[in-house]
Structure 1
Amino acid sequence: MTGLCAGRVVVVTGAGRGLGRAHALAFAAEGARVVVNDLGVGLDGSGGGAGPAGPAQDVVDEITAAGGLAVAHGGDIATPEGARSLVAAAVDTFGGLDTLVNNAGFLRDRMLVNLGEDDWDAVMRVHLKGHFLPLRHAAEYWRAEAKAGRGRRARVINTSSGAGLLGSVGQGNYAAAKAGIVGLTLVAAAEMGRYGVQANAIAPAARTRMTESAFGDTMAAPEGGGFDAMAPENVSPLVVWLGSDASEGVTGRVFETEGGRITVMEGWRPGPTADTGARRTPAEAGATALRLLADAEPPQPVYGTR
């Protein structure tokens, strides 16, 4: 490895398994000191509990066995106390915080007519609030450091999804939360740049507990070896680069990444437009809308409809 993150302190949430585990191991391999957060819950968020034991400690053991430095954090990052203690774990153990990777999440998939309020709230809580609270406490730390003349080249990598960019049938709660994460990322990039913080988001596709339940055999590893396009480890190199000093100047961006592919997503941009300078009647507004739609690019299909 190149030591791209040598000396940096990195926090990864939801790092006990899947993408988070791959990110934590990849950062450690590049010289970072890593706080491995995982609550140890099931795929739907059930079970688990506070404390460092469980999957987070397993990843720490992997890192230390390879000669790296890591510490486990078992707190609930969707609570103010858990998020605050997460940042404190980095500062108290390793003397600071340079990179925050928000990755934790779970699924409670339902079609909209069957989607209960509890399932909505639980997914919003872990994905959207679970991004906001660690980011808020990390930002508070970085602002204080900058004001004290100890500014850091801080990095935030948030985890959105193709579901958040295009929508996904049966995942109204998840898609809405992941879309919210993109908005949160753009605001963080705009607000925190003055303190040396860069914020970007990824929309990864990889084989994890979540995707295996949703897509089944399409996520399976290839038989007989060869390149495993769905391996979580394929996503981590971009995350490590975004979390390093080498990404200087890259902020407010969203990247899709899958296998060997990286795509810069360009988001909402103004398309065809018309302005009469006066109020329209409903019929006139409709005629204008239809004319503009005829000139517009068709939307990308929602996942689950193609």
Structure 2
Amino acid sequence: MMENKVVVVTGAGNGIGRDIALAMAAEGAKVVVNDLGTSGSGEGSDAGPAQAVVNEIRAAGGEAVASTESVSEWNAANRIVQAALDHFGRIDGVVNNAGILRDRMFFRMSPGEWKAVIDVHLNGSFYVARAAANHFKEQGSGAYLHMTSTSGLIGNFGQTNYAAAKLGIVGLSRNIALDMQRYNVRSNCIAPFAWSRLIGTIPTETPEEKQRVERMKRMETAKIAPLVVYLCSDAAKGVSGQIFTVRANEIFLFNQIRPMRGVHRSEGWTPQTVADHAMPALKAGFTPLERSADVFCWDPI
């Protein structure tokens, strides 16, 4: 499905990104395997993981090149896309998968922990996507796939920075889809459920947290790749601006924020009439204060 396509996959040295890169190559794509080789919290660097994935692809008869640039820096992100052009002459897809975690309860989170996660997830997704945009525009085709999370779509404890970035990515993707539609360029999001290096950093201090992590361990990273490959292929030409979730063998489509109900008062509102009229009328439509684990509470299939 990806024959003669060139795809950049960020964060492709391990976990979900690695499986996406391998699946892309297996379907005929030439792959730029980008990974800075940091720890799960974004510290250090190591060229080994990206090169190891490139070696796997080449050993299987595919074509790939390694990139160890950081998505969190504008110039470096442009060099990631330039690597595709330099080695393969074009770019057809961007998979924004790179990420780090610095979990902390909101009332303890430092500005540094906030900024580091925003820089990699949200700014990084914009930088790499933007670096490819003019190439997509000029050739009249292209596909973006961004990784969001149910931490942003629904909520989780101790992940204010991560959730804000991941929900921001939804807005980024939706508006890329709108702006680039006329150029036959698509943009979609996936919220993946899978046991990965980053998920392994989730605190497991309570019985509920331990149960959740054990459930996650049964969800393989390779399960995410088929939907990613499809969404980046020409077969998905009518799919853009959408949010999907993959959970083991399950694929879900998420709804998106739209008005649910409204109230009107011809003479306008006062604080008291808001309390007496508006809130009682609207309250039935409130979204419960749930976490991802409360909504996806059954064992993976």
- The question of 1:120 aligning with 2:120 is answered no
- How far 1:300 moved relative to its partner? 6.1
CA RMSD of superposed structures (Å): 1.9
In 1, distance between residues paired with 2:81 and 2:10? 11
Q: Contact between 2:32 and 2:67, CA under 8 Å: does it hold in 1? A: yes
Name the aligned partner's letter for residue 12 of structure 2: A
Q: In the alignment, which of 134, 139, 142 is matched to residue 128 of structure 2?
A: 134
User: What is residue 288 of structure 1 aligned with on the other side?
Assistant: 277
User: What is residue 237 of structure 2 aligned with on the other side?
Assistant: 248
User: What is residue 168 of structure 1 aligned with on the other side?
Assistant: 156
Q: Contact between 2:32 and 2:64, CA under 8 Å: does it hold in 1? A: yes
Unaligned runs of 5+ in 1: 223-227
User: What is residue 49 of structure 2 aligned with on the other side?
Assistant: 55
Unaligned runs of 5+ in 2: 203-208, 296-301
Percent of aligned positions with the same letter in both sequences?
A: 43
Name the aligned partner's letter for residue 210 of structure 1: L
- How far 1:289 moved relative to its partner? 3.2
Distance 1:78 1:298, change over 3 A: closer
Distance 1:204 1:82, change over 3 A: same
- How far 1:192 moved relative to its partner? 0.7
Distance 1:84 1:106, change over 3 A: same
- How far 1:162 moved relative to its partner? 0.3
Distance 1:172 1:305, change over 3 A: farther
Q: In the alignment, which of 261, 266, 274 is matched to residue 272 of structure 1?
A: 261
User: What is residue 13 of structure 1 aligned with on the other side?
Assistant: 10
- The question of 1:111 aligning with 2:140 is answered no
In 1, distance between residues paired with 2:170 and 2:276? 33
- The question of 1:85 aligning with 2:67 is answered no
Q: Contact between 1:256 and 1:263, CA under 8 Å: does it hold in 2? A: yes
Q: Contact between 2:177 and 2:241, CA under 8 Å: does it hold in 1? A: yes
Matching of residues 20-99 of structure 1 within 5 Å: 20-48=17-45, 53-99=47-93
In 2, distance between residues paired with 1:142 and 1:166? 32
Name the aligned partner's letter for residue 232 of structure 1: T
The 3-state SS of whatever aligns with 1:209 is: coil
User: What is residue 225 of structure 1 aligned with on the other side?
Assistant: none
In 2, distance between residues paired with 1:165 and 1:292? 25
User: What is residue 235 of structure 1 aligned with on the other side?
Assistant: 224
Name the aligned partner's letter for residue 55 of structure 2: D
Q: In the alignment, which of 163, 172, 177 is matched to residue 165 of structure 2?
A: 177
**TM-score (structure 1 length as normaliser):** 0.90
Q: Contact between 2:81 and 2:91, CA under 8 Å: does it hold in 1? A: yes
Q: Contact between 1:198 and 1:250, CA under 8 Å: does it hold in 2? A: yes
- The question of 1:198 aligning with 2:186 is answered yes
Name the aligned partner's letter for residue 276 of structure 1: R
The 3-state SS of whatever aligns with 1:212 is: helix
- How far 1:112 moved relative to its partner? 0.8
User: What is residue 247 of structure 2 aligned with on the other side?
Assistant: 258
Name the aligned partner's letter for residue 138 of structure 1: A
In 1, distance between residues paired with 2:243 and 2:91? 23
- How far 1:277 moved relative to its partner? 3.2
Distance 1:47 1:259, change over 3 A: same
Name the aligned partner's letter for residue 235 of structure 1: I
In 2, distance between residues paired with 1:304 and 1:113? 22
In 1, distance between residues paired with 2:210 and 2:197? 10
**TM-score (structure 2 length as normaliser):** 0.91
In 1, distance between residues paired with 2:178 and 2:162? 25
In 2, distance between residues paired with 1:304 and 1:251? 27
- How far 1:229 moved relative to its partner? 4.6
In 1, distance between residues paired with 2:223 and 2:237? 22
The 3-state SS of whatever aligns with 1:141 is: helix
Q: Contact between 2:262 and 2:282, CA under 8 Å: does it hold in 1? A: no
The 3-state SS of whatever aligns with 1:90 is: helix
In 2, distance between residues paired with 1:303 and 1:275? 33
